[in-house]
Amino acid sequence: MPVAASAIYFLNLRGDVLINRLYRDDVGGNMVDAFRMHIMQTKELGTCPVRQIGGCSFFYMRISNVYIVIVVSTNANVACAFKFVVEAVALFKSYFGGAFDEDAIRNNFVLIYELLDEIMDFGYPQNLSPEILKLYITQEGVRSPFSSKPSERPAPNATLQVTGAVGWRREGLAYKKNEVFLDIVESVNLLMSSKGSVLRCDVTGKILMKCFLSGMPDLKLGLNDKIGLEKEAQLKSRPTKSGKTIELDDVTFHQCVNLTRFNSEKTVSFVPPDGEFELMKYRITEGVNLPFRVLPTIKDLGRTRMEVNVKVKSVFGAKMFALGVVIKVPVPKQTAKASFQVTSGRAKYNASIDCLVWK
């Protein structure tokens, strides 16, 4: 795998270096000056997150009021570098009580240096799991006064979690009441033409779990669908079933899922991490039933006036209901005044986002 980082810098909005760590000697310590001069001062931060200056490449991302910059001079894995930044920020937030900003970095710079030495070695990412690192880096960060997240005190022994097969769960967990919570969150992405025909429609979903189980349980989750990863020969040999089936595309699992058993038995078998985690993500492109139909009509009444008529029709069953329905109608930026007539709910003109918001 190509290297992910030769050096990493944490900068504030003025360009001052808060924390930096050099992992390789192929880049100089003054690389941050080139980033500050050629990118920050030219106000090109929002154009592209990857820039090449001289013989070095800069990958940067803004989190709150902090810029995280990764510098490399070789053929680097860009996706791995940005994934490392996202996972590292989640790790820092778990230590700091959910806050990651300039103040949190200044108050916890000793802990951050210790974590940076553990999560990356010679430019290659290592273990970034908060559950594992908290087992042998027991120093607590300075938490924000607004954070109400309780501090965790795990067991000091971390040998099995670091080197064993089940690195996402520690042994010895015990609960008086074993509980498992499962939530399915889906979002529908739809592109429709002006005549009402559907141009593109897909559903992205994820399964969220929260487990409070004792010991090392082995859970199984069955799916009443046909997975899009199956071979065509298996589909042809399988007898047709009554009822509708769902084809899942682009299925992504948590590292705890046994992929071998999933490929053979089509069941999601896993030893769950303790607490809340994302079990799987998927995408559906066929057989999507839209919950609403939006029928807009726009008329120009002159150079400075226009009339917009929006009809919303629900197409789901009478036994189902929708909550928190919000419709945003974009308007020109020069709009000075808007009047409404709504059949139900209420509407207002939000000039900050240039939209008519109908709730």
Residue 56 covered by a domain: yes
In this structure, the answer to whether residues 258 and 192 fall within a common structural domain is yes
- Which whole-number Å values give the CA distances from 64 to 13, 100, 216, in the listed order? 10, 7, 37
In this structure, the answer to whether residues 14 and 82 fall within a common structural domain is yes
Residue 16 covered by a domain: yes
CB 89 within 8 A of CB 104: no
Tokens of 144: 């924000």
In this structure, the answer to whether residues 279 and 329 fall within a common structural domain is no
Strand order in the sheet with 66-72: 17-22, 7-12, 66-72, 56-63, 50-53
**Which of 181, 222, 189, 225 has the alpha carbon at shortest distance from 205?**
189
Domain of residue 105, CATH code: 3.30.450.60
Q: Supply the pLDDT for residue 335.
A: 85
Tokens of 40: 């920050």
Domain-ending residue, one of 120, 144, 168: 144
- Which whole-number Å values give the CA distances from 226 to 64, 108, 207, in the listed order? 42, 49, 17
In this structure, the answer to whether residues 29 and 111 fall within a common structural domain is yes
In this structure, the answer to whether residues 280 and 354 fall within a common structural domain is no
In this structure, the answer to whether residues 20 and 88 fall within a common structural domain is yes
Domain of residue 304, CATH code: 2.60.40.1170
Q: Supply the pLDDT for residue 46.
A: 65
In this structure, the answer to whether residues 192 and 95 fall within a common structural domain is no
Report the C-alpha gap between 3 and 20 in whole angstroms: 18
Question: Tokens 């003025």 — which residue?
Answer: 14
Report the C-alpha gap between 351 and 355 in whole angstroms: 7
Q: What is the sign, positive or negative, of the torsion defined by CA atoms of 35, 41, 45, 47?
A: negative
Q: Supply the pLDDT for residue 151.
A: 46
In this structure, the answer to whether residues 139 and 187 fall within a common structural domain is no
Tokens of 65: 């009021």
Residue 74 covered by a domain: yes
Residue 327 covered by a domain: yes
Residue type, position 220, single letter: K
Residue 149 covered by a domain: no
What is the extent of the structural domain holding 87?
Answer: 7-144
pLDDT mean values, one per 10 residues, the chain (359 residues): 78 86 80 78 73 84 89 85 89 85 87 88 83 74 52 47 63 87 91 82 92 90 60 48 63 87 83 89 85 85 87 87 89 85 89 88
Cα torsion at 56, 62, 65, 68 (round to 10°)?
-40
Residue 316 covered by a domain: yes
CB 104 within 8 A of CB 96: yes
Q: Supply the pLDDT for residue 207.
A: 93
**Which of 297, 288, 298 has the alpha carbon at shortest distance from 191?**
288
In this structure, the answer to whether residues 237 and 334 fall within a common structural domain is no
In this structure, the answer to whether residues 117 and 66 fall within a common structural domain is yes
In this structure, the answer to whether residues 333 and 249 fall within a common structural domain is no
Report the C-alpha gap between 215 and 174 in whole angstroms: 6
Q: Supply the pLDDT for residue 163.
A: 52
In this structure, the answer to whether residues 93 and 33 fall within a common structural domain is yes
Q: What is the sign, positive or negative, of the torsion defined by CA atoms of 159, 133, 270, 176?
A: positive
- Alpha helix locations (H) across 108-151? 109-119, 130-136
Q: Supply the pLDDT for residue 180.
A: 92
Domain-ending residue, one of 284, 310, 334: 284
Residue 348 covered by a domain: yes
Angle between helices 109-119 and 78-96 (to 10 degrees): 140
Q: Supply the pLDDT for residue 6.
A: 85
Residue 163 covered by a domain: no
Domain-ending residue, one of 226, 255, 284: 284
How many independent structural domains does the chain possess?
3
Question: Tokens 């070095």 — which residue?
Answer: 56
